């Protein structure tokens, strides 16, 4: 467990002054100390107390964690919620069928009774942040070894969490570290589990441009969906029940129709997932040459197989839409990241930073003692784990993507738990979105690429079976497995379980066991220097903070609520090219391609455009706004986050970054980095004029 360095904290908490309004994912409790003055200078009328208050309702009460990896915002007194279309995509897909294809056709509930329960979906509200650094520091002083400190940390965290929760069964508490383990906060949350699907445009609007336009500007995607949070009669979280009622929030966002102009101040609040802006050169090379490169190649092969089947069969399109989208989003991001690493000389810049750090350390004997081995520890650990890491990646991204072994693993876990009553539900959920013919094709492709990527002496034992029993014919091996496995459908699994068949003899289980056999050794090799790496990273971050005292330094994102502020701003991606800060519906029509599903345009939208029937949502020049740019600092997890004007009113939803700054999780690029937002006016236009669900606007507070 990391030590607490009060000297470091003092230097960057008490003497920080924000440098740039457009960089930083700031902790809400520190806004007054770090950012209040700068934000006022930029034109924000909101105060830090308006944004985060422990005594009164504030903006943070209208922002939620949406599902497992996005952000959402409450926009009415009746618990109405906006998020991105791609954030609601998984829930919309689960609710869809060939007969009711809400992904393709869209959906709008015309009353509360028509809203659809989104099974398994949750939204989580932030209750409070409390600095518990002193409590953690006091406990850790008693430990001498890493194991002792880990144990002490667990004990004091549990004590603090229990005290925070008390008898309140509706909240949870977690202790989380920040600033490289130099600061700790106790964070209290409240999670609601009855969330219902209210509406979304068809994918031809909500996913317009799909993979081609993903991470790109100019953008013309209406990336939003609408849900509602429900509670029990006392406004507390409760499982789904017809008796539940719409949640009454502590606060909700007003929606602005005023729009945006270049230079307008903006705030984004949400739950950014992970950044690594203290990444060293060796870590960067590892990400570029191993994790990114391997995933790019192997996911690309699998995605080609999936897309071919998806385009050929509407049912498979629904079954694999969310799976494909989740895979391809990361795949394209990593392609862009590697390109940007090269174009922006990120490796060289990291090397220069390390050289400056080393020079600074070597100027003082005390610094040498504290930080002199930091980079060496990191570099040695990264080098020592490289082979094991590469093999883990190649295995997980190839044969680890065969769904037949995945469902076999799930079934075996359920049976091992002794709670067989869960089995049917697990199988129903899996097979609803499973195509055995598609998986058979994927298995053949993935095993072949595994053989190409992994040298003979490091392959799992199943390869010997292919060679000895099938003459090296991968296709024959896969066909035999699928033809003889019970895991190809629910009925065969249930029959086998009821008949107490030996599932370990199933060919899918044999493949699974072969893969799992090599994993412990690989994981051990990958993690053997984990403690050395953690020590080096802690020392490097602590030293960097000390070296940069007087600067504004924000903690890396870790899926806790943050605020980023900036302005509406265009950019120039390359010589002689200048992008505007907004797009319009004209651009949708210019991109239309009826032969390409990514760029289909609904007839109703074309009719509205042709008639210029935009109502109160149009720009002063009569055009219909779609998306706009800002220089707010965001990353994955911010999808669905509200972008607010200087008064805290909703002007759009953040949904993407731009291609020219794909290295942004590692290094911020102020001249190039932009956040892509869907304009709130386009959201309301689609709900009202296109979807015919204008009644939803009646419960919002719309300001002009």
Contact between 100 and 270 (Cβ < 8 Å): no
Q: Please give the helix or strand (H or E) that residue 245 lies within, else none.
A: strand 245-246
Q: What is the CATH number of the domain that holds 649?
A: 2.40.10
Regarding whether 286 and 412 lie in a shared domain, the answer is yes
Distance of CA 355 to the CA centre of its chain: 33
Closest CA to 479 of 459, 453, 514, 508: 508
Regarding whether 571 and 430 lie in a shared domain, the answer is no
Contact between 633 and 23 (Cβ < 8 Å): yes
Longest Cα pair distance anywhere in the chain, in angstroms? 75
| Cα–Cα dist 654/435, whole Å | 34
φ, ψ of residue 126 to 5 degrees: the values are -80, 125
What pLDDT score does 6 carry?
Answer: 36
Give the SS3 label for residue 670: coil
What are the tokens at 490? 């629910």
pLDDT, tens only, 665-682? 999 999 999 999 999 999
Contact between 665 and 216 (Cβ < 8 Å): no
Contact between 136 and 153 (Cβ < 8 Å): yes
| Cα–Cα dist 64/349, whole Å | 36
- Domain's final residue, options 483, 515, 530: 530
Q: Is residue 540 part of a domain?
A: no
Regarding whether 634 and 592 lie in a shared domain, the answer is yes
Beta strand ranges found along 513-664 (DSSP E): 562-567, 571-574, 577-579, 582-584, 625-630, 642-644, 650-657
Q: Is residue 22 part of a domain?
A: no
Q: Is residue 417 part of a domain?
A: yes
Q: Is the dihedral of CA 576, 658, 45, 255 positive or negative?
A: positive
What pLDDT score does 286 carry?
Answer: 98
| Cα–Cα dist 143/152, whole Å | 7
- Domain's final residue, options 479, 506, 530: 530
Q: Is the dihedral of CA 368, 374, 375, 379 positive or negative?
A: positive
Regarding whether 625 and 494 lie in a shared domain, the answer is no
Say if residue 218 is preceded by a cis peptide, omega within 30 of 0.
yes
Q: Please give the helix or strand (H or E) that residue 354 lies within, else none.
A: helix 346-361
Regarding whether 596 and 510 lie in a shared domain, the answer is no
Q: Is residue 157 part of a domain?
A: yes
Give the residue numbers marked as catalytic.
Answer: 86, 223, 639
- Alpha carbon dihedral 199, 202, 207, 211, in 10-degree steps, equals 140
Q: Is residue 24 part of a domain?
A: no
Rounded (10°) angle between helices 346-361 and 314-343:
50
Contact between 660 and 57 (Cβ < 8 Å): no
Q: Is residue 266 part of a domain?
A: no
Residue 367 burial class via C-beta count within 10 angstroms: exposed 0-12, middle 13-18, buried 19 and up: middle
| Cα–Cα dist 230/253, whole Å | 18
What are the tokens at 622? 């009569």
| Cα–Cα dist 288/281, whole Å | 10
| Cα–Cα dist 702/499, whole Å | 62
Regarding whether 299 and 162 lie in a shared domain, the answer is no
Count of the separate structural domains present in the chain: 3
pLDDT, tens only, 162-191? 999 999 999 999 999 998 788 899 999 999
Regarding whether 188 and 292 lie in a shared domain, the answer is no
What pLDDT score does 22 carry?
Answer: 63
Domain housing 672: 562-703
Supply the DSSP symbol for 418: T
Place of tokens 């003979």: 456
What are the tokens at 658? 């731009």
Q: Is residue 20 part of a domain?
A: no
Regarding whether 248 and 305 lie in a shared domain, the answer is no
| Cα–Cα dist 615/617, whole Å | 5
Residue 611 burial class via C-beta count within 10 angstroms: exposed 0-12, middle 13-18, buried 19 and up: exposed
Contact between 346 and 340 (Cβ < 8 Å): yes
Distance of CA 644 to the CA centre of its chain: 21
Closest CA to 699 of 258, 253, 270, 269: 253
Distance of CA 26 to the CA centre of its chain: 18
- Domain's final residue, options 530, 545, 579: 530
Regarding whether 65 and 117 lie in a shared domain, the answer is yes
Q: Is residue 500 part of a domain?
A: yes
| Cα–Cα dist 686/679, whole Å | 11
Q: How is 82-144 classified by DSSP, letter by letter?
A: EE-HHHHHHHHHHH--SSS-HHHH-EE-SSGGGPEE-TT--EEEEEEEEE-HHHHHHHHTT--
Closest CA to 121 of 206, 204, 193: 193
Regarding whether 450 and 588 lie in a shared domain, the answer is no
Beta strand ranges found along 181-224 (DSSP E): 183-192, 194-200
Q: Is the dihedral of CA 350, 268, 691, 229 positive or negative?
A: positive
Regarding whether 449 and 391 lie in a shared domain, the answer is yes
Q: How far apart are the first and last CA of the chain?
A: 52
What pLDDT score does 282 carry?
Answer: 98
What pLDDT score does 175 carry?
Answer: 97
Instruction: Output the CA angle 263-267-270, nearest 5 degrees.
Output: 150
Contact between 35 and 536 (Cβ < 8 Å): no
Closest CA to 352 of 343, 362, 360: 360
| Cα–Cα dist 450/458, whole Å | 11
Number of other CB atoms surrounding residue 100 within 10 Å:
13
Regarding whether 289 and 241 lie in a shared domain, the answer is no
pLDDT, tens only, 266-317? 999 999 999 999 999 999 999 999 999 999 999 999 999 999 999 999 999 9
Pick out the chain residues at pLDDT < 50.
Answer: 1-21
| Cα–Cα dist 27/257, whole Å | 29
């Amino acid at each position: 467990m990391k030590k607490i360095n009060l000297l470091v904290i003092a230097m960057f908490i008490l003497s920080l002054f924000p440098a740039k309004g457009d960089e930083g994912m700031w902790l809400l409790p520190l806004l007054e100390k770090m950012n209040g003055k700068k934000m006022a200078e930029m034109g924000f009328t909101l105060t830090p107390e308006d944004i985060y208050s422990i005594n009164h309702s504030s903006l943070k009460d209208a922002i939620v964690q949406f599902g497992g990896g996005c952000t959402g915002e409450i926009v009415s007194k009746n618990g109405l919620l906006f998020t991105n279309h791609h954030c609601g995509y998984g829930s919309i897909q689960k609710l869809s069928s060939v007969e009711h294809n809400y992904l393709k056709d869209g959906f709008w509930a015309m009353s509360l009774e028509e809203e659809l329960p989104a099974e398994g979906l949750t939204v989580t509200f932030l209750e409070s942040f409390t600095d518990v650094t002193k409590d953690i520091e006091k406990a850790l002083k008693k430990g001498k070894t890493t194991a002792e400190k880990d144990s002490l940390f667990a004990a004091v965290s549990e004590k603090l969490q229990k005290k925070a929760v008390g008898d309140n069964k509706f909240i949870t508490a977690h202790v989380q570290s920040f600033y490289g383990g130099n600061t700790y906060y106790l964070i209290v949350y409240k999670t609601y589990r009855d969330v219902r699907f209210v509406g979304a445009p068809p994918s031809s609007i909500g996913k317009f441009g799909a993979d081609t336009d993903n991470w790109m500007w100019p953008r013309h995607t209406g990336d939003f969906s609408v849900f509602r949070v429900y509670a029990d009669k006392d406004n507390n979280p409760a499982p789904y029940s017809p008796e539940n009622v719409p949640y009454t929030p502590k606060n909700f966002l007003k929606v602005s129709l005023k729009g945006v102009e270049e230079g307008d101040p903006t705030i984004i609040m949400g739950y950014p997932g992970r950044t690594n802006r203290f990444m060293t050169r060796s870590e960067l090379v590892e990400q570029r040459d191993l994790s990114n490169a391997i995933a790019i190649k192997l996911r690309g092969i699998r995605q080609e197989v999936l897309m071919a089947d998806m385009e050929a069969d509407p049912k498979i399109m629904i079954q694999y839409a969310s799976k494909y989208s989740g895979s391809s989003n990361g795949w394209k991001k990593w392609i862009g990241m590697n390109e940007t690493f090269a174009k922006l000389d990120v490796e060289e810049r990291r090397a220069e930073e390390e050289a400056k750090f080393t020079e600074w350390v070597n100027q003082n004997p005390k610094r040498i003692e504290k930080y002199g081995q930091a980079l060496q520890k990191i570099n040695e650990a990264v080098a020592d784990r490289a082979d094991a890491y590469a093999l883990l990646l190649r295995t997980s991204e190839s044969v680890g993507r065969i769904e037949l072994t995945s469902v076999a693993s799930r079934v075996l876990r359920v049976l091992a738990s002794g709670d067989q009553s869960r089995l049917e539900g697990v199988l129903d959920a899996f097979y609803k979105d499973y195509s055995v013919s598609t998986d058979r094709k994927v298995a053949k492709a993935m095993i072949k690429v595994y053989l190409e990527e992994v040298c003979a002496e490091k392959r799992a034992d199943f390869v010997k079976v292919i060679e000895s029993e099938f003459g090296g014919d991968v296709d024959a091996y896969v066909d035999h497995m699928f033809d003889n496995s019970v895991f190809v459908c629910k009925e065969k699994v249930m029959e086998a379980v009821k008949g107490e068949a030996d599932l370990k003899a199933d060919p899918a289980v044999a493949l699974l066991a072969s893969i799992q056999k090599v994993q412990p050794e690989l994981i051990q090799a990958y993690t053997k220097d984990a403690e050395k790496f953690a020590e080096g990273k802690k020392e490097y971050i602590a030293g960097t903070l000390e070296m940069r005292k007087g600067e504004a330094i924000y903690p890396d994102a870790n899926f806790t609520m943050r605020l980023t502020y900036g302005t509406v701003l265009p950019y120039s991606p390359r010589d002689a090219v200048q992008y505007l800060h907004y797009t319009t519906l004209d651009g949708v029509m210019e991109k239309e391609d009826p032969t390409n599903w990514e760029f289909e345009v609904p007839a109703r939208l074309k009719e509205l455009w042709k008639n210029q029937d935009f109502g109160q949502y149009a720009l002063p020049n009569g055009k219909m706004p779609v998306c706009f740019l800002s220089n707010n600092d965001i990353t994955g997890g911010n999808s669905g986050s509200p972008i607010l004007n200087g008064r805290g009113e909703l002007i759009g939803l953040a949904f993407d970054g731009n291609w020219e700054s794909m290295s942004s999780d590692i290094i911020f690029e102020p001249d190039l980095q932009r956040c892509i937002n869907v304009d709130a006016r386009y959201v309301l236009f689609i709900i009202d004029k296109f979807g015919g669900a204008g009644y939803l606007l009646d419960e919002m507070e719309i300001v002009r």
